[in-house]
Amino acid sequence: MATHLVTGVAGFIGSHLAEALLQRGDRVIGVDRFNNYYDPNLKWKNIATLKQNSDFTLIEADIQGLNWSQLLEGIEVVYHQAAQAGVRASWGEGFRHYTERNINATQIMLEAAKEMKSLKRFVFASTSSVYGNAETMPTPETVCPQPVSPYGITKLAAERLCWLYYHNFGVPVTALRYFTVYGPRQRPDMAFHKFFKAAIAQSPISIYGDGQQTRDFTFVSDAVAANLAAGEVPAAVGEIFNIGGGSRVVLTDVLAKMEEIMGRSIIKEYIERAMGDARHTSADVSKARKILGYNPQVELAEGLAREWEWIRGLYE
């Protein structure tokens, strides 16, 4: 039975990933600080079933306060999902949380990882935000990153740290650049969660700009499958992979689909474009298909319906 470590285990993707590892028969050590970026009660709900599993151990702590040399003993794969998320909140005074939690925390873990003989993989959760307004659509991993938000800058810096530790010390890193992940347990500051919640309350939603921006949406179970593959496939070491849902969709079309699923209308309020938001995102996932065997399974309509069911259970 292999033992894996998941940071940000009580978060959106981390909790799903830990669940999948346990279902597979692995042991999981989960680390989370339960900070107040959003309601910690939601995070405790995310891991309610995990806590009932005897193969799951929870460490409630700040990454920077832990003894990583001790913690990584015997760990085969680290899935580093913890981060200070959110593009819009990364401007201004909040920026130091991003440097601390995205860059410094990652460096501390990599520093300990370089001494670990048991470690087969260090999977780093990166983001499509590193591309900014990419020149090529769909965007391959070879495009030069040009982040347009402080958040994107910190995630790119952490990603580059991974390569330094790979090239200099042989830490077996892999980075996954997620393109807008959605589904049950999605963070409340993310668009679909906000839109569904607003529809229940019959309150207006804010749409930044003209609503014609496009996104590549990835269902959470597909993001989890990518992590599992990245943790196992030998050829993944030292590589970056785009993880997208396989189709690029206009925001106004997504809203129409949501209205159809809910059987109720969304009150829209158009406001000015947000600083740091990329206009379009689209993942070229051919590299992930080829090396990881990645093949997104969940279409947007099905994924939205699943998230809606979860949101109703939360708020209705």
Distance of CA 10 to the CA centre of its chain: 12
Rounded Cα–Cα distance for residues 38 and 188 (Å):
7
Determine whether 151 is an active site residue.
Answer: yes
188 preceded by a cis bond (ω within 30 of 0): no
Rounded Cα–Cα distance for residues 100 and 223 (Å):
25
Rounded Cα–Cα distance for residues 302 and 219 (Å):
9
Instruction: Point out the catalytic residue in the list 37, 98, 131, 151.
Output: 151
Burial class (CB in 10 A: 0-12, 13-18, 19+), 162: buried
Rounded Cα–Cα distance for residues 103 and 268 (Å):
37
**The amino acid at 233:** V
Rounded Cα–Cα distance for residues 307 and 197 (Å):
11
Cβ neighbour number for residue 262 with a 10 Å cutoff: 18
Residues known to be catalytic: 151
